[in-house]
Amino acid sequence: MNSSSVKYARVAIFRPIRSTFEYSLPAHLKEKVTSGSVCRLPFRGEDVRGVVLEIREEPQYEGERKEIKELISRKPLPGAIIELARWLSYSTLTPIGQVLNRFVPGDLSVRPRTREIVELKTSFQSVSSFIERNEKKCPKQVELLEFLLSQEEPVEKNELLRKANSSRSPLAALREKDMVEMTSLPEMGGQEAETFEGLSSPLDIGRESREMPKLEPDGFAQYAVNGRGGKRLAAYLGVIQSLAENGTVLVLAPNVIRAEEIKNIVREELSLIALSYHSDLTDGEISSRWNLALEGEVDVFVGVLSAVYLPVPRLRAIIVEGDGERNYDLTEQDPKGNLIETARKRAELETASLILGGRGPSVESYYRITAGELETIIGDFPEGFKRPVDLALEWDSGDRALGPGLRRALKWSYGEEGPALIVGSKRGTSSAAICDECGEVVRCPDCEVPLTFTGSGNYGICPYCGSKANLLVCENCGSDELNFIGSGLEKAESEVRSLLPEADVRLFDSQEETWDDFLKLAGEVLRGKVDVLLGTSIVESLYFQDRNSLIGLLDLDLVNNRPSYRSTEFLLQRVLAALDLVKDGGKVLLGTQEDRGGPFDLIKSGNWRELYERELKSRRRMGYPPLRSLIKVEVERGEKKEARDVALKLKKELTSAEGNYKLLGPTSNTFEKRKGQYRSDLIVKAEEAGKLFDLINSLVSEKEYGEVRLNPFA
């Protein structure tokens, strides 16, 4: 074979390997494989998958190279998706092949079924002339043309043949004469909205007064949508309606139930092609929908986490429902980071709009709004939450899950219209310790975050700087009455059943129950068949807004004392969710053992703006986002000492480098081995994350640091 006719591909293998590899293209793939193609190829004795990053006319590798075996994807990944993968690889130190492996489902064999559409290819005069000349000579061809002339829209092939009582041969003859053309379009499966008796759209409430903003597709822009559920959803629909006709809109939700709800609402209200995309689908459904995304034939995709990577060719907007939700922190996978930041980068790369929505903004979004970086489309926050609702603290230092106030409220609610929702933590275990005497939570003195305690409870560890503290006495008051906080929903369920023996009480476990299970339960709740529903935040359904007589929030001390600088923000979002669910005249009780000042008093008084400003002041003082970047550097090794030694070496290098960095750690390894590796972490606070990425990438590539990962939005 003439060497000039050979093409070469630089491929990122779906393995945790930093290098990319050069392959040659066999003759039958030379014109089919391009940049972005997903291929199957030989690698170290096995067949693996990978994505072609570049096609070259001349080889750059002088040794023996192998050939690509198979083209898997019908179309290549869009260029912006490859650029997003490069950015994630660089900002997280994750090999680009491993990043792309997250983008592409494991099985692409299930492709969407297609239907063939027939339409006229020539002018009306040409068709009329053909009919006059061939009415007796080719009657079936004429009959087909006459039927097509009578239709305003293109016709599906099988319908055309059936209506014209024709075989395929006359149609094939018309194609050869260039009279008609045929186009293959994918069939959309699962387009029926899933509804049940008693379920009405959240938009039914206040439908007459709702606003539906329209955006112009004029490049990258960022918007905030804050407020109660109905107005927020109406804003999303306005955005979708104005942009979907020019491409695809991605909607990201914090959980599967929220995603399925939004998908149904889009279908019901706008009659667009809307599909969900999440891990609860079958492998076949995921494969088919990923291929549909690549075809660009879907108006709206609604999903969680990996939906942000869907390879739609014409992205017009990304809507993030649940700004500030903890589920958007990507801590247990590669690449790590934060879903909203990934969505922001993708919108920027594709000159699309980013819409951040929620009952109230995250602290970072609030900061961006005040700085003029985020434009508010619809924002009745905080004023919109000043409603006729009885919001009270439920302070109880006893060993019951339900305090006396909540028990009284449950008895009252049992006679009211609308169920009671009890929201709490599922397992009831806690990593935080609190003093029974003064109410102080045991915190790191340097980082001001609650310590994470070991299973034995002997000592706590700061998740940021790694410092330890013995669980002996309270440093604030000297008391030795230190206890773990949190009760859990199982205990609460038992107490509710004892309190209301005639009531229909349900506990929804999102880890074990499916979307179909939730649909059945929601139908019973909305038809008044359930008196008390307990669950985690998954029960904060969009369909439940403004319908509940009572919301009881348990274990808020756990929420407010997570080992994170964002714990107060998580508390705020939980309370705002409750205010979205309760009807006017209902009750919201906040379960806490901290009967003293702090964010609870500000929340109770409705002083939301001061709460945000106080949180920003604290983060500015401590050097936390959004005022500074917080980046976790994770070092993995087979031995615990080796992991710590490498982390210390890297810390020394970073300390001596130019730049305004503050380094914490390395942390002790609390969890022992994880997937056969020990991990030691550094935390870096930096004014400019970009310069730190440059520095760490340079250090890791030049020196033998081995397995190092970054979580740039820790």
Any domain includes 340: yes
485 has pLDDT over 80: no
Q: Give me the pLDDT at residue 600, please.
A: 84
Find the CATH number of the domain harbouring 616: 3.40.50.300
| CATH number of the structural domain spanning residue 705 | 3.30.70
Residue where a domain terminates, one of 589, 621, 653:
621
Are 531 and 568 in the same domain?
yes
Share of the chain above pLDDT 70, in %: 85
Structural domain includes residue 652: yes
CB-based contacts of 253: which residues, under 8 Å, 6+ apart?
259, 262, 302, 303, 304, 321, 322
Q: Same domain, yes or no, for 355 and 426? A: no
- pLDDT above 90 covers what percent of the chain? 34
In a domain, 655, yes or no: yes
Model confidence band, residue 2 (pLDDT cutoffs 50, 70, 90): very low
Q: Please tell me the predicted confidence (pLDDT) of residue 399.
A: 67
If asked whether residues 617 and 637 sit together in one domain, one would say no
Domain span at residue 668? 629-711
- What is d(CA 66, CA 47) in angstroms, rounded to the nearest whole number? 12
Give the range among 9-18, 286-295, 426-435, 523-532 with minimum mean pLDDT.
426-435
Q: Which two tokens stand for residue 86?
A: 């490069």
Mark whether 690 and 565 lie in a shared domain: no
Q: Which of 558, 589, 621 is the last residue of a domain?
A: 621
Name 578's Cβ contacts closer than 8 Å, sequence gap at least 6: 423, 551, 553, 588
Residue 440 lies in a domain: no
Residue-wise pLDDT tens digits, 426-481: 654 445 677 766 667 788 877 878 877 655 556 677 777 777 776 666 777 666 66
Query: 161: domain CATH number?
Result: 1.10.10
Query: Do 21 and 131 fall into the same domain?
Result: no
Q: Mark whether 603 and 639 lie in a shared domain.
A: no
**Buried (b) or exposed (e) across 204-232, using 16+ Cβ within 10 A?**
ebeeeebebbebebeeebbbbbbbbbbbb
Identify the domain boundary among 324, 355, 384.
384
- Count of structural domains, the chain: 5
Place of tokens 């969680």: 304
Residue 134 maps to a domain:
yes
- Regarding whether 221 and 349 lie in a shared domain, the answer is yes
Is the same domain home to 555 and 413?
A: yes
Task: Note whether residue 471 is domain-resident.
Answer: no
Give the CATH number, domain containing residue 82. 3.40.1440.60
> Do both 692 and 552 map to the same domain?
no
Same domain, 231 and 355: yes
Residues 245 and 164 in one domain: no
| Better-scored residue on pLDDT, 581 or 399 | 581
Q: Is residue 464 in some structural domain?
A: no
- The DSSP bridge pattern shows strands 420-423 and 548-553 to be parallel
Do residue 372 and residue 491 come from a single domain? Answer: no
For the stretch 17-40, pLDDT in tens is 989 999 999 999 999 999 999 999
User: End-to-end alpha-carbon separation of the chain, Å?
Assistant: 53
Instruction: Output the pTM of the full model.
Output: 0.85
Q: Is 196 a residue whose pLDDT tops 70?
A: no
pLDDT of residue 251: 98
606 falls within a domain? yes
